[in-house]
């Protein structure tokens, strides 16, 4: 069984996007190195060797992702090619256009436990990636997260979408698994201590 992990780029003051959901400043590190990583349907990434190893490792071990409806809409369904497939989307209302057989998207209307459970089943031995703050916080509240991976960028955004604003957990220790400094970003990996 793989692990359930959160993965996101975060500013030093704890934001994952600006007030209009913009991520351009946060994502500068994806285009600040020499190693090219082609992404279907998106601009080719150019990252440092250290970052490339981390990104390629994650793409090898990723088996499913769980996201929220806002991210799905903002990304315009990644043009039908989500970063990891299958992609489970938590929502209260299922859109008509992507809920069909053969779609990489599965829309989940009955809660975080069900979304993570279905994603784990689909991923098998591979990992499940959680890709938004709203989903992360629900999953942490339900104690469903094994690891938190943060790409910390040297930036203060001041306002925008916060990583943490709805946590209801008791104080919880995190174990440092890995710290990798790279060009424009520090890759941090923590294990959630049970
Ligand atoms: N920094 C990065 O690396 C990075 C990467 C990607 C995205 N982002 C940013 O992340 C933000 C999006 O994340 P977010 O946390 O704000 O929103 P989100 O998780 O994408 O979406 C929240 C929405 O998902 C639906 N939802 C969530 N939990 C649900 C549940 N248990 N049951 C039913 N529906 C549920 C609800 O929508 P409905 O009620 O409408 O169905 C809810 O309003 C954006 O600002 C985006 O730009 C940052």
Give the angle subtended at the CA of 168 by the CAs of 163 and 169, to the nearest 5°: 100
Hey, which bits of 33-78 come out as E strands?
Answer: 35-39, 42-47, 62-68
Tens digit of each residue's pLDDT (9 = 90 or more) over 155-194: 999 999 999 998 999 999 999 999 999 999 999 999 999 7
Mean pLDDT value across residues 77-92: 94
pTM score of the predicted model: 0.95
40, 105 contact by CB (below 8 A): no
Quote the ligand 1 centre to 35 CA distance (angstroms): 30
The 8-class DSSP code of residue 79 comes to G
To the nearest whole percent, how much of the chain has pLDDT over 90?
89
Quote the ligand 1 centre to 88 CA distance (angstroms): 12
For residue 37, the cross-strand partners are: 45
In this structure, of 11-15, 67-71, 190-194, the range with the lowest mean pLDDT score is 190-194
Evaluate if residue 26 carries a pLDDT over 90.
yes
Which of helix, strand or coil describes residue 24? coil
Nearest partner of 12 among 136, 129, 156, judged by Cα: 156
Length of the chain in terms of residues written: 194
CATH at 10: 3.40.430.10
pLDDT at 100: 82
Evaluate if residue 98 carries a pLDDT over 90.
no
pLDDT at 72: 97
Quote the ligand 1 centre to 69 CA distance (angstroms): 5
Q: Could you give the CA distance from residue 34 to residue 189 in angstroms, rounded to a whole number?
A: 23
Number of structural domains, the chain? 1
Which of helix, strand or coil describes residue 193? coil
Quote the ligand 1 centre to 166 CA distance (angstroms): 13
Which residue range forms the structural domain that includes residue 38? 4-192
Nearest partner of 162 among 6, 5, 10, judged by Cα: 10
Radius of gyration of the chain (CA): 16
Nearest partner of 174 among 136, 134, 147, 142, judged by Cα: 147
Q: Could you give the CA distance from residue 177 to residue 66 in angstroms, rounded to a whole number?
A: 23
Q: Which residue has the higher pLDDT, 1 or 71?
A: 71
Q: Is the CB of 45 under 6 A from ligand 1?
A: no
Which tokens hold the place of 64? 């499913």
Nearest partner of 8 among 68, 60, 49, 98, judged by Cα: 68
Q: Is the CB of 160 under 6 A from ligand 1?
A: no
pLDDT at 99: 77
Tens digit of each residue's pLDDT (9 = 90 or more) over 105-126: 999 999 999 999 999 999 999 9
Tens digit of each residue's pLDDT (9 = 90 or more) over 143-166: 999 999 999 999 999 999 999 998
Q: Could you give the CA distance from residue 8 to residue 131 in angstroms, rounded to a whole number?
A: 7
């Amino acid at each position: 069984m793989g692990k359930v992990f959160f993965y996101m780029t975060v500013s030093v003051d704890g934001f994952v996007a600006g007030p209009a959901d913009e991520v351009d400043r946060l994502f500068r590190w994806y285009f600040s190195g020499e190693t090219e990583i082609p992404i279907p349907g998106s601009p080719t990434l150019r990252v440092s060797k250290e970052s490339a190893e981390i990104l390629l490792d994650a793409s090898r071990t990723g088996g499913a992702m769980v996201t929220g409806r806002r991210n799905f809409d903002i990304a315009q369904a990644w043009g039908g090619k989500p970063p990891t497939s299958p992609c489970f989307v938590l929502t209260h209302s299922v859109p008509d256009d992507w809920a069909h057989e053969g779609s990489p998207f599965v829309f989940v209307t009955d809660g975080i436990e069900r979304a993570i459970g279905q994603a784990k089943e689909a991923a098998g031995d591979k990992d499940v990636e959680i890709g938004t703050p709203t989903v992360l916080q629900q999953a942490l509240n339900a104690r469903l997260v094994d690891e938190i991976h943060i790409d910390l960028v040297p930036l203060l955004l001041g306002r925008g979408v916060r990583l943490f604003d709805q946590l209801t957990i008791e104080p919880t220790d995190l174990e440092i698994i890995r710290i990798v400094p790279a060009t424009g970003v520090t890759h941090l990996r923590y294990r959630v201590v049970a």
